């Protein structure tokens, strides 16, 4: 099974790849994550945007990403696609449904699709299992479990705020983990690999719970004997 996923940025690729693998342990997977920047390198003609699409900036961009992603999946004869979008303190049900509406605008019915919408950001999911975070340290220092990760929010520009990105950065600093921009992708991927999927489901029931339920639809059904 080859799954094509559109991720917002490079730091999302490792976590989303690992979490898909954890959710589908019985499947032989090949996961191809494309970031927004990578998909933008593919030229999309105006004629490729479906008629009747509301010319609303954010939605038009999302539809363009889905179109490009499907083009890549189609070349590989894959029928599995996913689109990641951090919620960023919006209404979960609306964003989730909007993504599926855009899927329906672009994708033919046989294509299986999944909306990956962390509440509020991918860092919220990474904060769910404190044991995974502490596994990065040398064992001499430990950080405490964060409050409900799906409720963390604040000014991203304020390093002391409870924005999930800032909260995780402070945890990494306490563990003396290098956390510059170049190091983030590997650090995030390592946390996701160590994360207990049951803990993540329990602590992020709204967004990860939905993701875990939805991706089970990717499991091929056994042919009747």
Q: Tens digit of pLDDT for each residue in 168-190?
A: 999 999 999 977 778 999 999 99
β-sheet bridge partners, residue 116: 84
**Whether residue 93 has pLDDT greater than 60:** yes
pLDDT tens figures, 106-152: 999 999 999 999 999 999 999 999 999 999 999 999 999 999 999 99
Structural domain boundaries of the chain?
A: 2-119+206-218, 122-202
**Whether residue 15 has pLDDT greater than 90:** yes
Query: CATH class for domain 2-119+206-218?
Result: alpha beta
Question: Any idea what the Cα angle at residue 198 is, between residues 154 and 214, rounded to 5°?
Answer: 80
Tell me if 136 sits within 8 A of 190, measured CB to CB. yes
34: Cα separation from own chain's centroid:
11
How much is the pTM?
0.92
**Whether residue 102 has pLDDT greater than 90:** yes
Q: What is the Cα–Cα distance from 23 to 197, expressed in whole angstroms?
A: 8
Residue-level pLDDT at 58 = 65
β-sheet bridge partners, residue 80: 3, 112
Residue-level pLDDT at 222 = 67
Residue-level pLDDT at 57 = 56
Ordered DSSP codes for 24-38: -TTS--EEEEEEHHH
Q: Which of 125, 92, 163 is nearest to 15 (CA)?
A: 125
pLDDT-above-90 percentage for the chain: 84
Q: How confident is the model at residue 9 (pLDDT cuts 50, 70, 90)?
A: very high
Give residues with Cβ within 8 angstroms of 115, minimum separation 6. 82, 83, 85, 96, 99, 100, 103, 214
Q: How confident is the model at residue 59 (pLDDT cuts 50, 70, 90)?
A: confident
Residue-level pLDDT at 107 = 95
Residue-level pLDDT at 44 = 57
Residue owning tokens 């499947």? 27
Packing angle, helices 184-194 and 10-23, rounded to 10: 20
Q: How confident is the model at residue 42 (pLDDT cuts 50, 70, 90)?
A: confident
Residue-level pLDDT at 60 = 82
More confident call, 71 vs 201: 201
pLDDT-above-70 percentage for the chain: 91
Q: What is the Cα–Cα distance from 80 to 205, expressed in whole angstroms?
A: 24
Q: Is 91 in a helix, a strand, or coil?
A: coil
More confident call, 127 vs 42: 127
pLDDT tens figures, 159-170: 999 999 999 999
């Amino acid at each position: 099974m080859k799954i094509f996923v559109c991720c917002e940025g490079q730091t999302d690729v490792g976590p989303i790849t690992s979490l898909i693998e954890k959710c589908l342990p019985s499947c032989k997977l090949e996961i191809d994550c494309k970031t927004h920047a990578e998909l933008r390198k593919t030229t999309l003609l105006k004629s490729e945007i479906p008629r009747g699409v509301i010319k609303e900036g954010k939605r038009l961009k999302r539809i363009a990403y889905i179109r490009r992603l499907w083009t890549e999946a189609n070349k590989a004869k894959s029928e599995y696609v996913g689109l990641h979008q951090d919620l960023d303190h919006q209404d979960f049900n609306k964003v989730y449904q909007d993504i599926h509406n855009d899927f329906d605008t672009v994708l033919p019915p046989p294509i299986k699709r999944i909306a990956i919408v962390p509440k509020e950001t991918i860092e919220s999911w990474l904060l769910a299992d404190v044991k995974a975070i502490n596994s990065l340290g040398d064992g001499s220092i430990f950080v405490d479990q964060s409050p409900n990760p799906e409720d963390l929010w604040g000014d991203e520009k304020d390093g002391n705020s409870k924005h999930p990105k800032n909260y995780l950065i402070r945890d990494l600093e306490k563990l003396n983990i290098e956390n510059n921009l170049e190091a983030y992708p590997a650090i995030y991927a390592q946390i996701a690999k160590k994360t207990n999927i049951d803990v993540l489901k329990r602590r992020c029931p709204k967004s990860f719970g939905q993701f875990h339920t939805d991706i089970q639809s990717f499991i091929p059904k056994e042919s009747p004997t």
